[in-house]
Each structure stands twice: as structure tokens, then as C-alpha cells.
Structure 1
Amino acid sequence: MLGAIVKSIFGSSNDRYVKSLDKIVQQINAFEPTLEAYSDEDLAGQTAKFREQLASGSSLDDILPEAFATVREASKRVFGMRHFDVQMIGGIVLHRGEIAEMRTGEGKTLVATTATYLNALEGKGVHIVTVNDYLARRDAEWMGQVHRFLGLTVGVIVPNLNEFERREAYAADITYGTNNEFGFDYLRDNMKHERSQMVQRPFNFAIVDEVDSILIDEARTPLIISGPTDDKSELYISVDAIVKRLDADDYETDEKTKNVTLTEDGVEKVERILENEGLLVGSNLYDVENTQVVHHLDQALKAVVMFKRDTDYVVKDGKVVIIDEFTGRMMDGRRWSNGLHQAVEAKEGVKIEPENQTLASITFQNYFRMYPKLSGMTGTAATEAAEFYDIYKMNVVTIPTNLPIQRVDEEDEFYKNTMDKFGAIAKLIREKNEKGQPVLVGTVSIEKSELLSDFLNKEGVKHSVLNARFHESEAHIVAQAGRLGAVTVATNMAGRGTDIQLGGNVEFRIDDELRDMSEGPEREEAIARIKMEVAEEKQKVLDAGGLCVIGTERHESRRIDNQLRGRSGRQGDPGLSKFYLCLEDDLLRIFGPDTLFAKMMNSNLQDGEAIGSKWLSKAIETAQKKVEARNYEVRKQVVEYDDVMNDQRKVIYEQRADIMDAEAVDDVVIDMRHDTINAIVADACPQGSYPEHWDIDGLKEKVKDVLAIDPPIEAWIDEDGIEPEIIEERITELADAHMNEKMGKDDPSIWRQVEKSILLDRLDHYWKEHLATLDALRQVVFLRAYAQRTPINEYKQEAFSLFERMLDGIREDVTRILSVSELRIPEPAQLPDLPDFLTGHIDPLTGMEDSGDGDGSATQAALFGSLAASPEAGASPGGSGENPYADLPISRNAPCPCGSGNKYKHCHGALV
């Protein structure tokens, strides 16, 4: 009570913080008259002036007011858009490494230009992280106009760039790209064999657009680079056929975690079928020999029972394509892990692609925490403020709107079943449509979108459906969703990235209607006509009540609901939002409190009848909070496990960097050899034991195998007072002499190159195997809870022990290869190419994956982008002459390795 009184008098801590920034905004505004008088050249010259000030010892905060004012003036000249004062506040918040929560339509993209410009002046690079490639390209081109006007360079990272193009983009002052591309480039860089092959610079500053979507929603699943393993298509098909013969009584489902488990009767039934099919070893399904069959059975059950076509995935061109649960977009090329995607492919009867093995991985949490300064912006972050601070140490600052909000948020309406609910929604849409009010409807799946579309067709309402099936046209559909009488049904509006403007979007109309019209007086007249029509139509839409937003059910997260609501009422426009719910909605059915169902069913709610109450809305919000808390625990668990791997990852990646940077690694190789000898002797001759208990035969065999020498160990043992330390010293002397003699036969520079190559190769090999072991450990460590042990503590201990064993293995393997091998190549050994890998964004707990590089084209571009067609090869651009790349596994849609800029299929890969 007291807190509420204090807040009403003095405002919240957020209000007080925002108000404290007014002084800086006033300083920014004070520069405006001076800068308005500058010529374009003088304004662009501000960049050189600021850099001189920074070189002289000034800080970014010192030059912030004038730098922000410079960006505002540049924006006025380039776009005709002047930053509002609240946008300047947002820019200051971003510069300070905090999250700016700004409502939809407040111009977050323009806000970012101020903090981006200021921090780019240091020359260390600024990354702008977007949720998809379309926005990365759009913002780099759109906002890049201001930065280029002021003399800064702008790059963009999107799929299918070759290595040179990526390095050039990262070298720019400002680099736009998606979270996945930045993360995968980091992992790829740490799989390279030379520093010159790496594309990224040291981390400096990143601004994350739609920060809640990237750092919260997508952070549940780590980024994973993987390579293909053996083909098991027939086993997937066989197990899928068995699962489809089961009845609902044979298994139990848990919709919260999307898990399916066999009942006792189900196990017996499956065992009988597997025995008849010859797929079972023995008679017990859970014998260790049947581990692989059980794994495939679990994934097939999950695929058949829990994963629904047109909700979790679609089948397009004979391929299973994942649908992003947050945005409703098709995730082309992205695959679920642990065999789940293959199980779904078997279910749908399409070609089954091989499984993949992890080669490198990192969570978004640990990736983005490597930036010395990280900030973000979104329309909805306050509900996750605690998590942002807990994981990323970023405060959420709510920025006030430029104009007061006029949108009306009506109470939810509750119906008994889905059909009644959709019937009521369709009638409301028809009413709004008849008076010209535009309507935006948010659904949670393609299935629900198409169901509503059928209802609207029956009502005779013309409408557009925006879902994963029509992904290509989504920007154009969204842009015109505010036109008079427009009805748009959208699978999910989270992060669509296109502003809905009442009356329509002028730029999109010009692009759609005047695309084929050449420049000239006619085009200018047509543009003027379109602008006038949009202005007139906007007034009619305002008179009709603005944009009406309808939610067909509540999402798991309150943020997604708020994002949908936020599409209406931008920049002080009027608007309306309302959600329709029923007992059959997934959120209420899975997570709702039992009392909710009891009270609703006992209220004698008739078919077609609706109720609404604050109590009901509160109960729904409680269910959403339960889901949010559960998802937070999942994300927290993911990062806890990755923190263990992250410490090890840093050691390996730092070791790789040191090896690549060093001219010679002979000191490392010698240390490895000496450590290996120490371990071999300690194993055969334990401290404190008598010589007669030593394993002399094992020691001789091991020394010969690993060090390629045959010392007289038996003669040494006969000496009085012999100790393990003496044996170790003598073996070390012989091994060193052997290697010195070996290296003396060849050019030292060749040996240096060979040592580096072998070190990196063995390091990568053992790290890959270590990751696979950790994946398996993570899957089973939860069983330790039955023994009253904490799984994460068990995982830490086991992972540390496995890491030490991995390092021992690397030392011994490197020593063996260098000791046993004979160098016969007169020139330096070639460094191995990176493997042909896939990129993925995988949940280690559920196996669900959210991203990837489908045909490996980005990888192949990186692998072969540096190759150039030489005169000796007898090739020339355009595909004429002999193809020097014919034997390379290059995707036909990848850039041609010759560097022509054309796709491979239109260049050297052209079919004759």
C-alpha cells in the first residue's frame, strides 16, 4: 500500500531513470540549430572530428550529445524523418548496454542508428542482430543510408556468402546479420586451421533487435554444427510402421514436454512385434543390446503421436519443414536432432536424410555474453526483466510513447468449444469489415488459420491468410493490413518486422503498382496519386476506429499476446484488441488450473453462449505465468549445462588460437611427449610399489607403440635402487634423441607445419568425440536423481573427468603420430578442409531443432570461396572450358568457387 502511494507521487524507478535522461536529450537538442546550417559535406565531416576527439582521450559519453544530434540531422536529410525525443532516450539506453522496451510503431529501427553510429566511431565494429535474413538485408540497406552518408561502412551477413564476403562484412564499421549467422560464424571460425581463414573480429558491441525473441525464446536451444553419420533409413521406416500399429492405450502422453512413454501392455505388445520383425535381441526390449531400437522407438512415438502436420511442420516439395512456434515461419533447411526429424520423415513417407553428429555447439546465452557491451530493443521485455538481468546483466528500461495510447483492450470472451468461438470471431470480423475497419487476427497454428478462413468464407468476408504456407508474400500482406476493410489472418505476429500503417503503406504500394514503370513525369504523378489515396484512406480508417486486433487464443507467453495487441494503436492511433478463448485451447487444456474447468463446466454454459470476467482473465494469466516459469527453468538448465562445456570450450578454442598464431609449436609438442611418457611410466610403475610388481611387458609394448623406440628396460630393472623417475628420465632422453634425429633429416619449416597441422587435427577430432560423449551424458545424467544425487553436479564431475581423459588422449595421439610417422612429402603438408557440415539450433533436452543450413551451401561457399580459377586449370567464368571443381561437393545453388559472383550452376557447374 505504502509502495503504491510513493509510486503515485514520485513515479516508478523506471520513470525516474527515464526522466534523468532528459538533461542529455536537451543537450542533443541544443546542437540542432548549428547542425542544420551545415552542408552535407560538413555534416559528414563530423565523423572524422569525433574520431580525432576519441583519439585525444575523449570518451563516447563525452561526444554522445553532438554525435546523436549529427545522426538526427543526417536522418532528416536522408529519410525526411526526425528522431523524437523519446527515440533519443532509447538510443542512450542502448548505448549504456540496457534493453529499451518501446511499443510497436515507435521506430525502434531508427532508434538504433544513434547508438550504432556512436559506438562504431571507435572502429572496433558494431553488430546489429536481427531475427531473420529479410530484416538484416532491409535494415542494412535502409538504415545503412544514414551511416554511409556519415562516412561509415556497412556490411550484412546472410546465408550463402563466401569466406571473402563474410570477412569483408565483419570488417565494416557496422555489420547487420541474424543471431544464427553470427553464432555459426563464431563456431566455424574455431574450426579453421589458419588465422587468416577466420572471418570475425574480436567482440565489441552488439544491439539485439527483438531481444526477447532472440535471447529468451530462441535461447532454449543451442546452436550446433554437425556432420552426417551412417544411413539408418530402413530402421526408421520399420519402427514407424510398428508404432502406427499401436493403440492409444499402449502409451501415455505428456503434452507439456511432448513426451510419449509406453505402458506395460504397450511394451509387451512392441516386444512381440519386434521379435516377429527380427529387430529385437533376446526377449527384453530394455536390454543393453536393444538401446538403438529403444531410441528409434521413442523418437517414432514422439513423431507419430505428438508432432502434428501443419502445426509443428509442413511437407513441402517432398521435405519435412519445421514451423517456428514463435513466428509461424517455415524454417527451411532446419532439422530436429537425435533422430526426431528422421522419424517424422518416416511418418510422412518422404526421403529420410542421415542423422548428424555434433562437431561444435554453443548456447545463445554464452555466445552473447562474450560481447563486452550488449544491448537490445523490443516491444515486450518487462515480463522477462528478471531473466534478462539474471542471465545477461541487462536492465530493462520502458521508454514512454511519443503520443498517448488510444487503443482499447477489451475483456476476453470465453466460449465452450472451438467451433462456437470461431463462429463468434467470424461474425465480429464481418461486422467490423462492413463498416470498413481493418482487422488483424492472430492464430497459433496453420490449422487454426485455415479453420478460421473457412468460417470467413461462409460469412462472405474477403481476407488474406498469412502463415508458413505463404511465407514469401508476408511483408506485402502485413504492410497493407491497415487498409480500409482489410482482413488479415496471421499465424503469429512475433517479430514480423513490418509496420502496419493505417490506410496502407506508401512504399509497398509504389513497389507493387509501379514496379514496371520507368522514371519520369508519369511515375511522379502516379506516386503523388498513391500518397493522396493513402492519406484519404487513412482518415476513413481512423473514422472507423483504427485497426482491430483479435486473438483466437492465448499464447504460452504473455509477451506474444502483447506483441499482437501492440500492432494496433501505433503513434497515438485509435484501435481495439480482444481475445477469444474456449475450454479446448491448448493453454487452458494443458496448463490451466483444474478448478477453472470445473467452474466453467458447472456454470451451465450453453452452446454459442459467451462469458467474460476479470477472474477468468486472471486465471489465464496465472496459467501463462506457469508456462513462462517452466520455460525459464528449461533455459536456465540449458545454460547451466552449457556453462560446464563453455569452460572447456574456452580452453580448446584458446589453445587452437595459440597454435594458429604460433610460428612453431615444438615446445607444445615436447611438453606433450614428456607428459605422455610420465603417464605411461606412472601407469606401469605405480609410486610406492616394488619393481617385481611393475608391468614391464606392458611398459615396453606401450613405449614401442607410442614412442617408436625399444629401450633396454629389463636391464634397467636389474640395477639396484632403480626408481620410476629414473626410468622416465631415460625413456625421455631416448625419445627426444629419436625425434631430434628424425627432424634433422628434413627442412625444419616443413616439420613446423606438420606439427601444427597434426595438433589442430587431433584437437578437433578429440573435441568432436568429447562433444558426442557429453551429449550422451546429458541424456542419462538425470537418472542420477533417483539415487538422491543432483544431476548438474554429477554432470560437472563427469564432464571434468572426461575432459582430462580427452587431454590425455590428445597428448598421446599427437606423440604417437609424430614418433611413428615418416615424413616423405618434400613440400609442407596441406591443411585439411573443414568437413561438409550442417548448422542446427537444437534443444538438448527435447531434441527439437530451430535452425540449420539445409544443403550445406553456406559451408561449401566458405570452403571453396577462396579457390580461384587459374590459367593452368584451363577454366574461365561462364562455365566454358574444363571444370576444375567437378570433383568437389559443391551445391549447385552455392556461389561458384572461381569468384565470378554467379551461382555454381550458372558458371563452372553449368550442364553442357
Structure 2
Amino acid sequence: MRSLVTRIFGSANERLIKSLRPAVARINELEARYSPLPPDQLRWRATELRERVAKGEPLDSVMPEAFALVREAAKRTLGQRHYDVQLIGGMVLHQGKIAEMKTGEGKTLVATLPSFLNALGAKGVHVVTVNDYLARRDAEWMGAVHRSLGLSVGCIVHGMSDAERRESYAADITYGQNNEFGFDYLRDNMKPALELFVQRAHNYAIVDEVDSILIDEARTPLIISGPVDDDPEKFRRVDRIIPRLIENKEHYTLDEKARSVQLTEEGVVAAEHLLGIDNLYAPNHMETLHVVQNALRAHIVYKLDVDYVVKDDQVLIVDEFTGRLMEGRRWSDGLHQAVEAKEKVKVQNESQTYASITFQNYFRMYGKLAGMTGTADTEAQEFASIYKLDVVVVPTHRPMVRKDHEDVVYRTKAEKWKAVIDDIEACHGRGQPVLVGTIAIETSELVSAKLKNRGIRHNVLNAKQHQREAEIVAQAGRLGAVTISTNMAGRGTDIVLGGNPAMMMRARGLDPDAPENKDEFEKLDRACREEREKVLAAGGLHVLGTERHESRRIDNQLRGRSGRQGDPGSSRFFLSLEDDLLRIFGADRIAGLMKRLGMEEGEAIEARMLSGAIERAQRKVEVRNFDTRKHLLEYDDVMNKQRSSIYQWRNTILASQDMRAQYQELSSELAAQIVAATFPPKSEPDAEGFVREVQAQFAIAVDPGAAELQGGGNRERALELLLQRVEAKLDEKVGMFAEIQRKYADFRPPSFDGIARGILLQTLDQSWKDHLLTMDHLKEGVGLQGYAGKDPKRVYQTEGFELFRAMFDRIGARATEQLFRVAIEEPSPERIVELRAAEEARRTAQTRRLQEVHAGSPSEAPAAPTGTVTREGPKVGRNDPCPCGSGKKFKKCHGVAG
């Protein structure tokens, strides 16, 4: 029935595309009007659109004009005109959906349309890429279109200063790498002042290679951490016994699907003997047990040049989906240290989490989110359920003519590799370029070695050669070229048949756009066009997959490198029963099928039923990986609510112009808690306990014989008494700081708001870090609740909420206790002389700078502190952070001796 309805009315995707056609026609009509306009008229039109949007006109209303302007600007600045299907892709992105567009269809150019349109609202647009190279390239390349229309363009890449980041985020459109956006958000929420923030509101984001960022990388959260004092020798000590322990395979069990390994009873006994301890499971050896378990995983599950590489005495994780090195990312919970010990490199200290967020929760903060990729349809359900994003398949500009051959499967890897090299040699011999896809660095190097033995020239692209990535990919379509690559996901550079003349010039250190290089560029361009005809005659680009990836989407991305813009091409996967995917998930079914067909050694099977079995194996893994990501999100949703609350409170503190009101509220809550604890409803009041608590919390002395504390029914009177005393103490503190500011105004002494804000922020930040560590431990241990018949996630939610509420109470209590003990010692006469001299020197230096700098307003040098901030009680340590929130040590700031 459904297929009949689809045949009559078209699929939902086809109906949506059809509904956008009238807008395309309108944009095409406007093209004739905009083409004759001079550049300043185009800019004026763009300014007019901004003004209309500022006055409240909806973006949908100005969309045809905006898209027509961008198309005209692209023709003039880039020499590229948006096709009708690219206009449709831009509309899909503007609607907050995912546009699936095949490789070579010009996704980068498409993004200029909705980014310009949404930037008209002056709230900022973020265009998210998978690496720094693409962010820089697109900000420069596509940024020319936006700049020609009067918009500002920024770029966020690794290594930039906060000032540079702030300027880039303030631009109308900001290009950047996904990790940078997430880490900037976390870092902003650790800063002591709002003016130090670099990001602004999360208005609209376009995520390039959206499946790579929102799905493949979703299993690894972004974490900012700091070192914890620890003994790295424990990892090396355990690592020394592991090779002997795993010599006997009876000592452990391996679950390849779950990538986990466990000691057997015999293994536990052997480990205890090798370590010289009596009971590995005794409470005092639980930490050692944890180190042993991680060391086993490091040696048995995690492979060099597959899961990680060793570079510059460091263990660097290899992204399993893109093949790129994940610099700055570390496995958690001691696993990274175990791998470092295994590889005999420096074992770094374990770290404590200061701030973390998953990509799912970061990108869900945007008011509107959109994405582009060549392969999203297979994950449409996940995009819809987690991100509320619909996937729209955008038609290609020209029909796809690539020939996708059925997989061929051999019994052994040796047979498969011989067939792979034979196929490459045959293609190379007739001049057909070949792209060889592998799923691991070691596999790419194995293929490279076999090709060298045959004397076939080739390029290798993996995490070890990522610096030449764009250059290698751009030339992979040349006559007879052979390119070996680990996962091609997110490479971002089109493979142009016959070669890319611009890349050739850049490889020689020449600018292809420079006027003096025009003749050389035209010469190379002609040569590439001639070579393209020969490549087309040879069959176009042939994609050869050496193994199926766990994800069908990654396989489709590899295939999609061939057949761009209607070019001819072909693809085929060569597999063996010894490949990990088939061995772990589908070997029995496929082996039985091959046996029934009576296959001989060296003979391959190519059958549609086999492809179905392989696809079922991939689906099993995809379901498992989806469950993992969903599981991570469900746990992080608990943390996300807490993170949002704490960051919201933190921003309120930073923005507050009345810190007295903040402490009044905190003090009132604490006062109510003290009264509730010491004046129970149906028991005698504990007047002495009340006095003790008030002294400890507020540094306020109360007479235990006060009338308000006598008798069982005086709970309200006791609370009223306490609130009056607390308010008076707060007034005293505010007055004390005001008096110091009045007397020493020339020296700019600390204000009450500054000190109070610093104390509360410092307390909040430290408590939040401690809470994150506690929540990590809760998550690790909560799995055991399943054995007691409880739902671990429910336990995590309930206990996590209780821990969070307790942390909130602790923050208020600690900050209030500290503030109520702060005092300022007035400076001695000698100190006043020093302060006057320091202030005079500061003003003289500032005057000199103003004379030297004619443009801009240099920031003022900090004034020397006037008074010494002290405590009426336990002191702030001289090496502790100053309570004012400056970030300096107390002894270097308000702790300077008077």
C-alpha cells in the first residue's frame, strides 16, 4: 500500500524537493536583475536586507533575494555559479535540516547561501568543519563571497589567542573545527569575568560532514582536565608482568565484540604470583586490580598503528572513522597510561575532569542546527531521535553513472591480498587511477609494501602523512595514479580526474591566483584537461575497498569519491573470511554458504546473497554502536542538566552588579537550615547547638540566653533574630569596603562586589570540579546496581541529583563562611607612600603608551592593591588563589603585606 501511495504522490523527500522549486524559479528570475549591478550596488542591496531583517522582516521572506545576491557574488569572486540543486541544498540547510549531497556536488559552496541569509540577523553563524585545514581554506575561499557583500568572516583554529578567538566569534560568520567550538564553550565557563568570554550566543550552526561529527565522534566527550598527583611507576610495574601473564591464553578471556578482556581464575592466581601479593581482590589491592585490567586491554585489545600511533614519545589516538590523529585527546580511567607503559614512553599523570560535554549536548544548544554530508540517509533514525534533524536527499546536478560491483570474498587474507594487488596492477596498466581504501594504518602500509614489490608507484595517505593530505587527495585522479588511504571520511578535497592544476602550483610554492603566474596556471590547466580525457577513456576513478568498515556509511563515503558530477567510475570491495567484521559478526553464515558452493583455494565468491549477509553483519555493529551513543547521551543528559544549572548560576554571578543580594539569598537559606536543625518541631530547642552553628557559619556571636532562643515555640523568633544579625553583618561588610574605597580612591582599592564575587566563583569552580570527579566514580560503580535488580541509569539519576543538591548547599555555606570572615587591614603610612609612587608610575607609563599608540585604546595596567584582604578566622594561604578572582596567588595580589 505504501509503495502504491509513493508511486502516485512521490516520497516525502520528493514532495519536499518539489515544494522548493518555486523558490528556485524566483531566485533565477532575480539573477537577470542582479547580474548588471556594479559591486557597490550588490553591497548596498545586502545592507538593505540587513536593515529589513533588523526591522522584523522574517528570513524566509528575504531568502530569494539573499540567495540571488550570494549566487551573483560567487560568480564574481570565485567564478562559480550555484546550480539549481545547490539552491535547494541551501534551502534545506536554512530550514534546519541535514542535506545529503553526493561527493563533488559542491557542499562547501552551498553553505554560503544559508550562512549569508542567517547572518543578516546579526546573531552570528558558525560553519563547523572536521579539521583546521578546511576551516582556514573555507574561511578564505568562501569568505571572499561574504566579504564582497559587506559581511565579516572569522576563523577558529588550534593555537589562537583568546583575543583572536573573540574577534573571530564577533564576525558575522565564523568557520572553525568542531573541537574548537566545544572547548571554547567549556573554557568560557571557567573564566572569572564575562568580558573574557570569546563566544557569543549559539544562534545557527551548519555542520559539514555532519555524520562524522555528530555520530562518529559522539562516543568521545570533550574533556578539559588537569593532572592529579599520582605514581606513574604503578603502571610500569604492572606492565612488566603482563607479557608473561598473557603467554598462557588460559589466563584470560577476550570478547572482541565488546573489546574487553577479563582474567580467569587461573589468571588471577598467576597475576598474584607475578606481583607478589596474596589477594588481588582485597580492598587494599583494588587499585592494582584496576591497573592490571587496563594493562590487559592495552596489550591484547589496543593495537599499535591501528588504534594509536607513537609519535614524539607520546601515544596519540587514531580516529577509527577518519584515520586522523586525535591530538590532545586521551583515553580515560587509566587506559592511556597503560598503553604508554606498554610502548615504553613517558607515562603521563592521570587527570581530573574540570569540565566536559558531549558533541550531542553541545550542538543541541544551538537555536537552529543544520548539516551537510554525502552519506546521512543510513543514520536518518539517529539524527531524528537524538538531534530532531530530518535528512533530505538533494538530487545530483548530473546523473550518477558510477558502477558499483558486488563484493568478492576469499577464504583467506593471503588470497585476498593477491587479488587486490592484481586488480590494482591491471588498472594501473591501462592508466585508470585507483583509490585503495583501508581501515587501519598497518593495512595501508601492508598494501604499500606489496605494491613496492611489484614496482608500482603510489602515494600513501594515513595519520602519519596527514600534512600532505589535501595535496595527495587532489592528485588521486591523475592518469595511472595509485593512492592508498585509511578511511576517506571527511577528507574535504575533491578528486579531480586528470589532476588539480591549482594544487600542483601550490605544491611548487606558487600562488595560482597571482597575475604573474597566470601563464603557468593556464599551461597546467590545459595539460590536466588533456589528461582528464585519457582518464575518462580508461574508465574514471576506480575505488578498491580492502575491507568492510563496521559502518556502511563509511563504505559509502569511500565509494562516493568516484563518479563526481556525472563522471564515470567504479568501485569494488575485496574481503576474506579472516577480516575482523566477517570473523566476529558473520563468519559462520558466510563460511557455510561458501562451503555449499564448493569453493576451491584462491577462488572468490561474488553473489548478491553474500552482500546481504555482510550488510546484516554491519547492521549488527551499527545497532550496537547506536546503543553505545544513546547510553552515553542518557548518562550525559543527567550531567547536562547539572552543567546548565551551574553555568547559568555562574553567569548570573559574573553579571551581577549587586553581590550583596546574592549573599543575602544564600545566607537566608543557610539560616533557615540552621534553625530547622536546632529547633526541631516536636523536641526541645538546642540553643547551644544554634549558637555553635551560627558562630561557625557566620562568625556571629549570639547569647544562648537570648529570649528568642528560649522555649519550644520560638522557632520563628529565632529565625527572625538570625536574619537580622546576618543582614547587619552584611551591611557591616559592605560599609567596610565602601569606607576603604572612599579613603583610598586614588589607589583603586578592591570593592565588596569584586571580593564577594571572587569568593563565590572560586568556591563554585572548585566544588564543581570535585563534583565531576564524584560523578565519574558514581558512573563507574553504578553498573553493579544491576546485580541488585535496580536500573543503573535510574540510580545514577537519583543519586546524582542528591549529590548535586548537596554540592549547591556546600557552595553557599563555604562562600558565606569565607565572606563573613573577610576584613581589610588599612595600609601603614609607609605602604601609602609606596602606593602613591606605584600609582604615579602607572599613570606615567600609561601616558607614554597613549602618546606612542595613536589608534586603539590600550588596557590599563592593574593598580597596586590598597589594603590587605584578611580573614576574621582561618587565613587564606599565601599560595592559594586570591579571593578577588584575579587568578593571581593571594601573596601576589591582595595579600601584599601592608
Map of 1:509 onto structure 2: 504
Matched, 1:76 2:106: no
Whether the 8 Å contact between 2:502 and 2:521 is mirrored in structure 1 is: no
- What is the rounded CA distance, in whole Å, between the counterparts of 1:394 and 1:619 in structure 2? 30
Residue 306 of structure 2 corresponds to residue 311 of structure 1: yes
- Please report how far the alpha carbon of residue 225 of structure 1 lies from its aligned counterpart in structure 2 after TM superposition: 1.1
Q: Which residue of 2 aligns with 1:668?
A: 662
Partner of 1:483, secondary structure, is coil
Higher relative contact order structure (alpha carbons within 8 Å, sequence separation ≥ 6): 1
Residue 172 of structure 1 deviates from its aligned partner by 0.3
Q: Give the distance between the partners of 1:708 and 1:597, measured in 2 at CA.
A: 79
Contact 2:82–2:110 (8 Å) recurs in 1: yes
Give matches, 1:442-461, under 5 Å: 442-461=437-456
| Aligned-partner residue type, residue 338 of structure 1 | D
Q: Aligned to 1:657, what secondary structure does the other structure show?
A: helix
**3-state secondary structure, aligned to 1:580:** strand
The answer (yes or no) to whether the contact 2:512–2:521 under 8 Å persists in 1 is no
Please show how residues 688-767 of structure 1 align to structure 2 within 5 Å: 688-691=682-685, 694=686, 698-713=689-704, 719-747=710-738, 750-767=751-768
Does 2:524 match 1:530? Answer: yes
Q: Letter of the aligned partner of 1:245 in structure 2?
A: R
AA paired with 2:455?
G
Change in 2 beyond 3 A, CA 1:210/1:226: same
Counterparts in 2 of 1:246 and 1:722: CA distance versus 1, 3 Å: same
The aligned amino acid for 2:243 is K
Output the CA distance in 2 between the equivalents of 1:716 and 1:414: 92
Aligned length: 825
Residues 53-64 of structure 1: pairs in structure 2 closer than 5 A: 53-64=52-63
Other-structure match for 1:155:
154
1:294 Cα shift? Answer: 2.1
Which residue in the other structure is 1:388 paired with?
A: 383
Offset of residue 6 of structure 1: 3.4
**Greater displacement, 658-667 / 123-132:** 658-667
Q: CA deviation at 1:603?
A: 4.9
Change (3 A) 1:223 1:519: closer
Partner amino acid, structure 1, of 2:639? M
Q: Give the one of 415, 430, 434 matched to 1:435.
A: 430
Q: Distance in 2 between matches of 1:101 and 1:825?
A: 68
> Structure 2 counterpart of 1:290, which letter?
H
Between stretches 96-105 and 625-634, larger displacement belongs to 625-634
- For 1:152, give the aligned amino acid: L
Paired residues of 1:427 and 1:459 also in contact (CA < 8 A): no
Verify the 8 A CA contact 2:101 2:394 in the aligned structure 1. yes
Post-superposition offset of 1:414: 0.2
User: Structure 2 matches for 1:575-614, cutoff 5 A?
Assistant: 575-592=569-586, 594-600=588-594, 603-614=597-608
Report Cα offsets for 1:801-830 as digits up to 9, x if no partner: 111100111111012111233334779xxx
Aligned-partner SS, 2:57: coil
The equivalent residue for 1:573 is 567
The alpha-carbon distance between structure 1 residues 777 and 671, as it changes in their structure 2 partners (threshold 3 A), is same
Distance 2:679 2:597 in 1: 81
Query: How large is the RMSD of aligned CA atoms in angstroms?
Result: 2.3
Equivalent position of 1:106 in the other structure: 105
User: 1:501-559: CA deviations, max 9, x gaps?
Assistant: 000012101222462999676x3332221011000000000000000000001101111
SS of aligned partner of 1:440: strand
Query: TM-score normalised to the size of structure 2?
Result: 0.89
How far, CA to CA, are the matches of 2:365 and 2:97 in structure 1? 16
Q: 2:117 aligns to what SS in structure 1?
A: helix
Matched residue, 1:811? 812
Give, in whole Å, the separation in 1 of the partners of 2:428 and 2:254: 42
Give 1:158 deviation, angstroms: 0.7
Matched residues in 2 for 1:55 and 1:221: separation? 40
1:849-888 equivalence runs, <5 A? none
Segment of structure 1 superposing worse, 227-236 or 138-147: 227-236
Q: 1:171 — aligned with what?
A: 170
2:485 to 475, 483, 490: 490
Deviation string for 1:823-880 (max 9, x for gaps)?
Answer: 34779xxxxxxxxxxxxxxxxxxxxxxxxxxxxxxxxxxxxxxxxx98999xx99xxx
Please give the per-residue CA displacement for 1:693-752, whole angstroms capped at 9, x wherever unaligned: x4x655444333222233232666983445444433333433443443344333277222
* C-alpha distance in 2 between matches for 1:529 and 1:334: 45
Which residue of structure 1 lines up, in the alignment, with residue 625 of structure 2?
631
- Bigger Cα displacement from structure 2, 119-128 vs 507-516: 507-516
Tell me what 1:851 maps to: none
Letter in 2 for 1:761: Q
Following superposition, the deviation at residue 409 of structure 1 comes to 0.3
Q: Counterpart of 1:589 in structure 2: which amino acid? A: R
* Whole-Å separation in 1 of the counterparts to 2:825 and 2:178: 45
Paired with 2:562 and 2:136, the residues of 1 have a C-alpha distance of 26
Looking at structure 2, the residues matched to 660 and 332 of structure 1 have their Cα atoms a distance apart, in angstroms, of 33
Whole-angstrom CA distance in 2 between matches of 1:582 and 1:493: 21
Aligned to 1:908: none
* 518 and 613 in structure 1: CA distance in 2 versus 1, 3 angstrom threshold: closer
Which position in structure 2 is the counterpart of 1:289?
Answer: 284
Q: Conserved in 1, the CA contact under 8 Å of 2:577 and 2:587? A: no
Quote the sequence identity (%): 52
Give the distance between the partners of 1:459 and 1:172, measured in 2 at CA.
53
User: Alpha-carbon deviations, 1:783-804, whole Å to 9, x = none?
Assistant: 1111221111111111111111
SS across alignment from 1:284: coil
1:341 to 317, 336, 340: 336
Q: CA shift at 1:16, angstroms? A: 1.7
SS at match of 2:804: helix
Q: Deviations over 1:251-308 (max 9, x none)?
A: 112222221111111112222333x2xxx5xx43223332322222222111111110
Distance across 1 between alignment mates of 2:809 and 2:117: 48
Classify the secondary structure of the residue corresponding to 1:21: helix
Residues 446, 870 of structure 1: alpha-carbon distance in 2 compared, 3 angstrom cutoff: farther
Partner of 1:127: 126
Distance 1:150 1:254, change over 3 A: same
Q: CA deviation at 1:608?
A: 1.5
Query: Aligned partners of 1:365 and 1:826: how far apart in 2?
Result: 53
> Which segment is superposed worse, 469-478 or 247-256?
247-256
Q: What residue number does 1:25 align with? A: 24
Alignment match, 1:117 = 116
Ranges in structure 2 where 5+ consecutive residues have no aligned partner = 742-750, 829-844, 854-860, 862-898
Compute the displacement of 1:597 (Å). Answer: 3.5
Query: Of residues 360, 375, 382 in structure 1, which corresponds to 2:370?
Result: 375
Residues 871, 264 of structure 1: alpha-carbon distance in 2 compared, 3 angstrom cutoff: farther
* Distance across 2 between alignment mates of 1:68 and 1:617: 43
Provide the residue aligned with 1:224 in structure 2.
Answer: 223
- The whole-number CA distance in structure 2 between the counterparts of 1:240 and 1:568 is 46
Moved more, 751-760 or 10-19: 10-19
Q: How does 1:839-850 map to 2 (within 5 A)?
A: none
Indicate if the aligned counterparts of 1:503 and 1:539 stay in contact, CA closer than 8 A. Answer: yes
2:659 and 2:389 map into 1 onto residues whose CA distance is 41
Structure 1: where are the runs of 5+ without partners?
828-868, 878-883, 885-912
State the distance in 2 between where 1:448 and 1:739 align: 69
Select the residue among 406, 417, 426 that pairs with 2:421: 426
Distance 1:245 1:679, change over 3 A: farther
Match of 1:902 in 2: none
Residues 641-700 of structure 1: per-residue CA shift (max 9 Å, x gap): 111111111111111111111112111212212222222333344332234xx4x65544
Q: Distance in 2 between matches of 1:687 and 1:305?
A: 62
Kept in 1, the 8 Å contact 2:688–2:704? The answer is no
In 1, Cα distance between the equivalents of 2:114 and 2:710? 75
**Amino acid of the structure 1 residue aligned with 2:799:** E
The one-letter amino acid paired with 1:672 is: L
Change (3 A) 1:242 1:302: same
| CA 70–685 in structure 1, closer or farther in 2 if over 3 Å, else same | same
Q: CA deviation at 1:436?
A: 0.1
Please state how far the C-alpha of 1:350 moved relative to its aligned partner.
0.6
For the 8 Å contact 1:706–1:820, the answer to whether it is kept is no
